[in-house]
Amino acid sequence: MEDILTIGGREIKNRLFIGTGKFSSYETMKRSLEESDVDIVTVALRRVDIESKTENVLNYIPKKCILVPNTSGARDADEAVRIARLAKAAGCGNWVKVEIIRDNKYLLPDNLETVKATEVLAKEGFIVLPYMCPDLSMARRLVDVGASAVMPLGAPIGSNRGIKTKELVEILISEIKIPVIVDAGLGAPSSACECMEMGCAAVLVNTAIAVAEDPAAMAKAFADAVSAGRLAHLAGMPHSTVGAKPSSPLTGFLRDV
């Protein structure tokens, strides 16, 4: 049976999602998206210029991709809702990544305002993917108000530190019945693979791909790592132990004969 993620009634084959910031050029971004064959692409509304015929980021995103505008720059629920509505009015569809950040130093999301915005947008028919600090109570509230997935951070945005919130994310995977998608901080394909081995539904990567020496090759590496991690999870990861367990019998040596 083909392993397909479903969000908002749409089938998603590639569990690597890619953000569109920080690329040196739109052409480089386009090659990265094509090389990794992604299905989901996030974009900040501020980079969408419908009037431009040459420098509109939308012109460089493969047609097959589901476009997910994010509410980057929003500092409260009202601003996030307004940005989402503007994106929809501009023709970007009804998917939205709710991102509300007041903290300028660590760029950590405001969970309370995120819940408020998610509730409003879900009632308006948006497919809402809220970016959040991994907290079980808040994740449950996001489920209750209509989130289509939850997107806990792995580490601060752009830090490339990997999955530093692993134990908290594992709790969400265990307790939350909608997809858990790790977003932010994953600096290497191995970190993305680790998230998938844990049972995450998908991961979102931007900085680690965009600032690599060869972004297209790095995008492909992340896509392969995500696929490998997902396969390992489905295969059944073995439990770790403190003591050693021999893979071959310790009896029957020549001296025992």
Domain assignment of residue 256, yes or no: no
Domain assignment of residue 254, yes or no: no
Measured between alpha carbons, how far is 155 from 219 in angstroms, rounded to an integer?
19
Token digits of residue 98: 């709710």
Question: Is 88 known to be catalytic?
Answer: no
Torsion of CA 137, 143, 149, 152, to 10 degrees: -10
Inform me whether the pLDDT recorded for 76 exceeds 60. yes
Give the model's pLDDT for residue 183: 94
Counted domains in the chain: 1
Identify the active-site residue in 97, 105, 116, 220: 97
The label of the residue with tokens 């509109």 reads 56
Question: Ramachandran region of residue 146, left (φ > 0), alpha (ψ -120 to 50) or beta?
Answer: left
Give the model's pLDDT for residue 218: 96
43 forms bridges with which residues in the sheet? 69
Mean pLDDT computed over 129-141? 97
Give the model's pLDDT for residue 161: 93
Burial 189-215 (b: 16+ CB within 10 A, else e): bbbbbbbbbbbbbbbbbbbbbbebeeb
The CATH number of whichever domain residue 222 belongs to comes to 3.20.20.70
Does an H or E element contain 226, and which? helix 215-235
Inform me whether the pLDDT recorded for 256 exceeds 60. no
Token digits of residue 89: 């009015």
Domain assignment of residue 219, yes or no: yes
Domain assignment of residue 246, yes or no: no
Give the model's pLDDT for residue 48: 59
Q: How confident is the model at residue 246 (pLDDT cuts 50, 70, 90)?
A: confident
Q: How confident is the model at residue 110 (pLDDT cuts 50, 70, 90)?
A: very high
Domain assignment of residue 152, yes or no: yes
Mean pLDDT computed over 116-135? 97
Measured between alpha carbons, how far is 45 from 70 in angstroms, rounded to an integer?
7
> How much of the chain, in percent, has pLDDT values that exceed 90?
77
Domain assignment of residue 247, yes or no: no
Inform me whether the pLDDT recorded for 154 exceeds 70. yes
Domain assignment of residue 74, yes or no: yes
Inform me whether the pLDDT recorded for 147 exceeds 80. yes
Q: What is the pTM of this model?
A: 0.89
Give the model's pLDDT for residue 202: 97
Range of the domain at 218: 5-238
Domain assignment of residue 164, yes or no: yes
Inform me whether the pLDDT recorded for 176 exceeds 90. yes
